[in-house]
Structure 1
Amino acid sequence: MNESEQRRISILVIEDEPGDLGLIQAYVRLAGIRRIGDQDPVVWASTLAQGVAAAAASMPDVILLDLSLPDSSGLHTVEAMHTVAPDVPIIVLTGQDDHQLAEAALQAGAQDYLVKGQFQHDALGRAIRHALVRQKLESRLSLFRAALNSVANGILITDIDSTIEWANPAFTRMTGFSLTEAVGRHTGEMLNSGKQDPQFYRRMWDTILAGRVWTGELINRRKDGSLYAEALTISPVTDGNGRIQHFVAIKQDISERKANEERVQHLAHHDQLTDLPNRSLLSDRLFQALAQARRDRGTVALMFLDLDSFKPVNDTLGHDIGDLLLKEVALRLQNCVPRESDTVARLGGDEFVILLAQIEKAADAVVVAGKLLAALERPFLIGPHRISISGSIGIAVYPQHGDEVNQLLKNADIAMYHAKKAGRNCYRFFREVTETAGV
């Protein structure tokens, strides 16, 4: 503590013996604690009540407190002053036989103690300096604790074996585990969802045991068993020799963000009205199906379906009824495809495409086309309306009618228009179209 800092110190001495007060004042001067202008650095109170009033009127930097006062004694004296001035360091003054009481006073909130008759000015100055330093450190620690307890992200401190030593309230809100439940438990035992493979954790441990920060995303499990997505950063904490002693983990629940991303992705690849795959997702699945068929020398069928007599529904009953009809059509079409690998997509308007990714022969597409036409022939009950429609289907088969995405889509579309010309409510293969046209 330099001289300018010493001059700023104000000391409240609560002592009922004038002789002891005079000795303290002399020691304060010898310790280099000077007057603040015309003001003596020492403020005197001879009773606890006077000390409480003096502290409330002008909060001192340090309190020297006699544990035996006319109106109070023992730990009650410390507790009363600590309540009035919780952020001011208290140094208690005790008699020669009061060591146990002095130690109890430390537990009650005092920073230090001095035994009357057994200290000189240097001991007093040192006690005051140490008390101020400790108080400043405790204030900083309190600030750090408050900051860690108020942040939105979960924070964990573990030992080198990943055993939890401390967690903040955000961790409890995120996982459902209280601090008491968490301390002493291994993070892997408590939070592991089983969604990450051993290689994931091996890479993580290789990173942090090498002294590097690890950042990633994973799925963890809450106390109630539910799963959540988490962004996790783990930082090693080392001692003065560079040895890792602890790990600090910062955890953020990103479940909502992930759900939003999935919704955006879904909307980008699905028709908003029917929730069927759109042209983009259909093209991707058709590309994958063709790649698989090339490897396996398999067969793929693409069916282009256009509704017959849909426009009069919109014109006479309105677009709201038309939209409800399209939703019902989508459900019926989905019920007609035989495998999960098959896709029913809506390109827009009343145009649908059915991808049969794995068929043994072209004739298998005929079976599905018959189911589709039969499903559409059954009347649709939309509110009070009984609506009858049908469909026209064009079929293109890989590899006979094309070997890439756009070619198969184009040829299936051409075949569908020939089905329309053939009287509707029927299907046509692209091969039949080319033979009829003399190609």
Structure 2
Amino acid sequence: MTSTFSGLRHPARVVVAAFASAVAVGTVLLMLPLSAESGEPTDLVTALFTSTSAVCVTGLVVVDTPGHWSTFGEIVIAGLIQVGGLGIMTLASLLGLLITRRIGLRMRLTAQAETKALELGDVRRVVKGVALVSVSFETVIAAALTVRFLTGYDYAFGTALYHGVFHAISAFNNAGFALYPDSLTRFATDGWICLPIVVAVIAGGLGFPVWIELWRHARHVLRRWSLHVKLTLLTTAALFVVGTVAITTAEWNNPATLGQFGVAGRLLTGFFHAVMPRTAGFNSVDVGEFESGTLLVNDILMFVGGGSAGTAGGIKVTTFALLAFVIIAEVKAQPTVHVLGRKVPSTAQRQALAVVLLSVGAVVTATLALLALTPFSLDEVLFESVSAFATVGLSTGITTALPVSGELLLTVLMFLGRIGPITLASALALRERTRRYELPEERPIIG
């Protein structure tokens, strides 16, 4: 067999099947009496919701993680997070390589014998690379957190190591699960805890293709970087700055959030909460106490998400940036879209637009449904819907108060949000065809 992945005619189905299988296995494990502190079986809906949240690296919970789940249950959750994070990075990277080869095949007009298949060596190289990047970052972050728990909080070595490893896995995979009922609020002003978490979140959210390219071209900064890497890094940095300024300014005097700290604590917390919507889900202050404007800023940051083929969710920063350049080109009446010295094909523009509009449709539909099912406000429900779809895990506190129908709705939304953008984008790219004829042109009135 010369191909293991692209021999499939519908590779996107592999993503759906793989994640559905992982969710099913996780649900069964979490339903076991051994997984709960009480020693009683966990009900199906709670186990399904938690398993989906872990595999889709979201972080939304309907039960208190350290209070409800036993050590075995927490290990299962950590394992599901790792599987979900590694899985999406690997499959998304393979799909990206598959798309690149197919498009490259057409552009080069090579012989039909040079198929667009991924060889076994390609698959092994991607899998090994993803595993190496993940384990490297998680090991460093786990060590840093373990040392801090040991020296700053007098944890026993075993406890410190356990907490360090769990939170490193959760952070790098942008999952947002924490072993504390209040997430990381007890460490809000502790930079030795918050900053390693931030580094892990950013590292996982950039995506495997970015790290591989940065490694290969470490001596040729910018000059040999691809358009994807440049867009990812520049847009990510810009959103961090805008998010930090907006959140810190809006919450500076709010005594329930940043206002309770000194200047250094406010700056640290503001930066922390600008990074978390991208899409980690940890919180160091009560999100439910945010001002309405801050919630809206978080909605936008969560919806955009992180880098492609990474552990973050959302529509991805490259999609967001590309549409911004499309708008700029249209405003300037330019016939084509140029981004950082490169021309972007119209097919990529249409694919980005399709991903964004369908994602908006999913969030709006879920928001309307939750408004009908629950007594909560639009701010709260919209925040919850965006958080679930973008696989963030932040919540204003209403998740545990949702009815079963609301929990099932968010379960579906988390699953769609995790696999939807990548499978949709890859399916559109792989189905790209040339028309054999064109219909007569007619322009409707716009605006």
Q: What TM-score do the two structures reach when normalised by structure 1?
A: 0.18
Q: What TM-score do the two structures reach when normalised by structure 2?
A: 0.18
More RCO (CA 8 Å, sep 6+): 2
Larger Rg: 1
Q: Hey, which of these two has a bigger chunk of strand by percent?
A: 1
Q: Hey, which of these two has a bigger chunk of helix by percent?
A: 2
